[in-house]
Amino acid sequence: MSKAELENNEEIQIFREYLRIPSVHPNVDYTPCVEFLKRQAASLDLPVEIVYPVNEKNPVVLIKWEGKQPNLPAIILNSHMDVVPVFPEKWTHDPFSADLDDEGRIYARGTQDTKEIGTQYLGAIRVLKAKGFQPKRTVYVSFVPDEEVGGYLGMREFVHTDHFKNMNLGFSMDEGSSSLDDGYYVYYAERTAWHLRFKISGTAGHGSILLPNTAGEKFNFIVNKMMEFRSSQVKMLARDSSLFFGDVTTVNMTIVNGGVQNNVVPAMLEVVFDLRIAIDVDLDGLEKQIRDWCEEAGGGIELVFEQKDEYVPPTKVDETNPFWLAFEKATKELNLEIRPHVCPGGTDSRFIRSKGIPALGFSPINNTPILLHDHDEYIRADSYLHGIEVYTKVIAAIADV
């Protein structure tokens, strides 16, 4: 399509309108998103409901497409309304203008994470309804808040509500990521996230004295052990080309605090590590190893778990999962190369899976730089429209399982 044709395309216009809503952290106002989604539901002649699992500032929007057999477990197609902050000076386009350049690229925060899949779901439903298709199973399209800061005011609490229970869900789809080549990633599991703060106490005193048992010595020991662990994962990834980013444990030092004056040995130093733990790691064993290091460092170290997610079993991607078989068959009929992986990051799928509901993360974007949370985030308009074609096939298949 030419640029003029793309600008006049109804689906592209809807998408760009959504992108122009600055639902950006911190202090997100979701009201414009909710009003936009209400209009979309009305255009599809589908009912919409707004649920508040925590407070009225964090709504969950549910658009319902009732199935022919509504007693069957339903499908949920999830995305999140919120987006991460931007540094406008680092962008070549206004991050909330949804500019379409001469190459057909749409620039905006949320083009890959994840406003695109939300409106692609709706575009696919528009196509299916126009064909007279009605799903066997009820389909919910959900738009949740707060995902970019952990989902604690959104999906994490929503899955514990009676409303969620009464939806009787049997399968979920949510965000994935773009790929750099012709293939498409599909995520069937996520690593376990831990945020560890080491509060390291030691002997304080004058900076001119070689005091024993200082916080600095213990700090050095802990950092070295954690970095050795990190190095082992880097080497593992380098040795085996079959491994994906999500198959190893990431260890990153993210915060360092301490000290009061440059000639005073501090009584306390703190260091924070972000761990995303591979699904085959023994979590109890890892925690014991870290606590042993604290003792080996000389004691006096308080280990604080600022985030300690529990292990969530992966979704089956084999013949035991009929939804996977339907998804796989649909993508094969579209000649898509699908690559099942463990998701390197965290999504709301982990909360869905924790309730025993199978979930796949899938964003039908390929041959595109992975720009989630990056400057100049974009998606090609033709890729966006192709994604609607993909979801049209996939939604029909999984909803008729």
pLDDT in tens, 88-115: 999 999 999 999 999 999 999 999 999 9
Contacts of 383 (CB under 8 A, 6+ apart): 364, 365, 366, 367, 368
Nearest in space to 388 (alpha carbons), one of 124, 15, 186, 179: 124
Element (H, E) at 124: helix 115-130
Instruction: Report the mean per-residue pLDDT for the chain.
Output: 97
Q: How far apart are CA 43 and CA 277, in angstroms?
A: 43
Beta strands per DSSP E along 259-385: 264-265, 268-277, 301-308, 338-343, 359-361, 378-380
The answer to whether the peptide bond before residue 26 is cis (omega within 30 degrees of 0) is yes
**Domains defined along the chain, listed by start:** 3-190+314-399 (3.40.630.10), 192-278+280-308 (3.30.70.360)
Strand partners, 49: 62
The sheet carrying 359-361 orders its strands as 48-51, 60-65, 139-144, 74-80, 169-174, 359-361, 184-190, 338-343
Catalytic residues: 82, 147
Reported confidence tier of residue 345, pLDDT bands at 50, 70, 90: confident
Nearest in space to 380 (alpha carbons), one of 143, 80, 116, 132: 116
* pLDDT (average), residues 40-50: 98
pLDDT in tens, 280-322: 999 999 999 999 999 999 999 999 999 999 999 999 999 999 9
CB 62 within 8 A of CB 142: yes
Q: Helix or strand or coil: residue 44?
A: coil
* pLDDT (average), residues 182-193: 97
Residue with tokens 């009225």: 56
* pLDDT (average), residues 11-26: 98
